[in-house]
Structure 1
Amino acid sequence: MAKVGIADTTFARVDMAKIAKEELKQLCSVGFRHETVPGVKDLPLTAKNMLEEDCDIVMAFGMPGPEDIDKQCAHEASQGLIQAQLMTGKRIVEVFVHEDEAPTDKELEKLAEERAREHARNVYRLLFKPDKLRKMAGTGQREGGPDAGPLRR
């Protein structure tokens, strides 16, 4: 049975990990390992350890704040997640929602839920249906919002 690592933070204002786990449970049968860390810069080590120890793929959830320093921390965390993928040869699906992506808390919550669900579907496809991803190439998919669509039809 495939095992999905779930790494999330206490800094986030939405429990995106719970949403993604619910979505994955509807799509397939997988095991989970869930660890929570304080902030996004703590995610790379946790994700790397999960991949090295017992997970086939990891979803890393974060909700950086709106300030410049928050964006810098998110960028550094992204760099660390990329490095962890290269070190382990396994995928980490980064699911970040920046607090300034939506004008209201209600819209931010909706965005976070949609992005978590759509990335859970991506994890399902990566694990079990990679051919479906290939068919989606060039279609302008956007997680959490309306798809952009292809430029050429």
Structure 2
Amino acid sequence: MKTIGIVDTTFARFNMGRAAVDEIQQNVSAKIKRITVPGVKDLPVASKKLIEEEGCDIVIALGMPGAKEQDKICAHEASTGIIQAQLMTNTHIIEVFVHEDEGKDEKELAFLMEMRSREHALNVVNMLFHPEKLVKQAGTGQRQGFEDVGTLRH
């Protein structure tokens, strides 16, 4: 049985991990290992540990960087760490960040956090169980959380 790792943060203002778990469980039978860490800079090592110590075949790392410039720098550092963890383990870690300033208000922000978590959870399911579905979506302008933008035709 395939194992999906989920790591989320206490800093987030929405339970992104719960949304991802729910979406995965609605779509596939897989073992799920979930851990929660304080913030986005803790995601790389937690993801690496899920792969190396818990045997996860893929990991989804969910977080909510704040709106300040310092938060954006921390998010970049976390992204760099996640990329390094992927290369060190030769395993995909799907980064799902929603910046606090992406929504025009709290309602839109909560909607975005839930939808991005769920849509990337489906990406994880497809990467692990149905990669042909992603091939069919190549070049179609998929966006997780907001409306898809569509393909460019010429």
Structure 2 length as normaliser, TM-score? 0.98
Give the SS at the match of 2:56. coil
Which secondary structure state, in structure 1, belongs to the residue aligned with residue 101 of structure 2? helix
Shift of 1:49: 1.0
Give me the whole-angstrom Cα distance separating, in 1, the residues matched to 2:21 and 2:34: 10
Matched, 1:108 2:123: no
User: Percent identical across equivalent pairs?
Assistant: 58
Bigger mean CA offset, 137-146 vs 44-53: 44-53
Shift of residue 103, structure 1, vs aligned partner:
1.1
Give the drift of 1:32: 1.0
- Which residue identity is paired with 2:152? L
Q: Residue 94 of structure 1 aligns with which residue?
A: 95
Distance in 1, matches of 2:52 and 2:148, equals 34
Matches within 5 A, 1:60-75: 60-75=61-76
Q: Pairwise CA RMSD of aligned residues?
A: 0.8
Equivalent AA in structure 1 for residue 134 of structure 2 = L
Secondary structure of 1:5's aligned partner: strand
SS in 2 for 1:46: helix
Aligned-pair CA distance for 1:65: 0.5
Q: 1:1-153 to 2 correspondence within 5 Å?
A: 1-53=1-53, 54-152=55-153
Per the TM alignment, residue 133 of structure 1 is displaced from its structure 2 partner at its CA by 0.4
- For structure 1, the residue ranges without an aligned partner over 5 or more in a row are none
- Corresponding pairs, count: 153
Task: Provide the secondary structure at the position in 1 that maps to 2:85.
Answer: helix
